């Protein structure tokens, strides 16, 4: 079996046995193909020294520590698979060190900025003179649902149309690894979805689509990049610097604002769909600010 064939076998396993998403599989392929090119040989037969030299060269090529760590993770998964399948007698990544990396704080939006963004989206959706009311209604539904639920952008754009057919305060979403979780839906988000659904069903090309946000793409639903572009445009029209806003930033706003208003970190972990609490702990700075304020305002000896 060639090196390329073993990469294909690994990706097939990740898809069939672990339910890896298409984006995840594509990322693994890019990283493994890059490693194969960097080692200039059969990746599956690479020595620890060859892998270490490849990883050491990533920084010189301009890759950030987070990207280096992702590539090492892909290699670890690949060689773990080869060892488990008996295609290799050892795991050469066992002695490789992970790159040192700090954990950056997420970009955040204030509650006031988020309110301005949602208000602007609602105004444009309700404006009968809008040149493209179809897009305005869709964008309003997208931002309301994203801020109400904290969904990953891939989960959001791939929502089934059945979510809008029920007037429930919660719905189930399938996230990473095929795991399901329950997420809340505000009254404003439900109303925005209902308005969008009415416009969507009037479009013959999309009326029968199983997706809430259909498109003529290969996936059948709105592309993440299209939503990100439209969101930046909305931010600019709301007087918010578009450079600081992305779908992921709005997801961070959902989590940060919950914590600022008293939510428990474990509850936020479940809502975000984080498998490990350590991922959610990036928001502990919000908790720390809240605790300092609590002591300052309520402790009898506070100045």
Please list the active-site residues.
152, 176, 248, 251, 274, 283
DSSP string of 107-147, one letter each residue: P---HHHHHHHHHHHHHHHH-TT-TTHHHHHHHHHHHHHHH
Distance CA 293, CA 185 (A): 30
**Terminal CA-CA length for the chain:** 72
Give residues with Cβ within 8 angstroms of 303, minimum separation 6: 296
How far is 221 from 265, CA to CA, in rounded Å? 32
Residue 225 structure tokens: 């990049």
Structural tokens at position 256: 């940060």
Distances (CA, A) of 230 to 215, 221, 223, 234: 14, 15, 11, 6
């Amino acid at each position: 079996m060639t090196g390329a064939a073993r990469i294909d076998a690994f990706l097939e396993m990740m898809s069939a046995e672990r339910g890896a998403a298409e984006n995840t599989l594509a990322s693994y392929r890019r990283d493994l193909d890059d490693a194969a090119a960097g080692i200039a040989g059969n990746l599956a037969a690479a020595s620890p020294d060859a892998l270490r030299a490849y990883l050491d060269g990533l920084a010189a090529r301009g890759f950030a520590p987070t990207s280096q760590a992702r590539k090492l993770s892909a290699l670890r998964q690949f060689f773990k698979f080869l060892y488990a399948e008996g295609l290799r007698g050892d795991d050469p990544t066992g002695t490789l060190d992970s790159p040192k990396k700090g954990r950056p704080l997420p970009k955040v939006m204030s509650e006031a900025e988020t309110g301005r963004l949602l208000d602007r989206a609602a105004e444009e959706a309700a404006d009968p003179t809008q040149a493209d009311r179809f897009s305005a209604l869709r964008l309003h539904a997208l931002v309301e649902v994203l801020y109400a639920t904290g969904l990953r952008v891939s989960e959001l754009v791939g929502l089934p149309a059945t979510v809008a057919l029920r007037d429930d305060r919660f719905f189930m979403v399938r996230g990473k690894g095929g795991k399901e979780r329950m997420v809340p839906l505000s009254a404003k988000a439900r109303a925005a979805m209902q308005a969008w659904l009415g416009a969507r069903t009037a479009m013959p090309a999309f009326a029968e689509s199983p997706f809430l946000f259909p498109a003529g793409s290969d996936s059948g639903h709105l592309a993440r990049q299209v939503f990100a572009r439209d969101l930046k445009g909305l931010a600019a029209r709301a007087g918010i610097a578009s450079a600081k806003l992305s779908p992921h930033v709005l997801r961070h706003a959902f989590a940060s604002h919950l914590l600022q208003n008293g939510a428990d970190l474990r509850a936020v972990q479940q809502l975000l769909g984080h498998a490990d609490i350590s991922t959610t702990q990036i928001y502990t700075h919000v908790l720390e600010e809240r605790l300092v304020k609590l002591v300052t305002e309520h402790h009898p000896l506070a100045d």
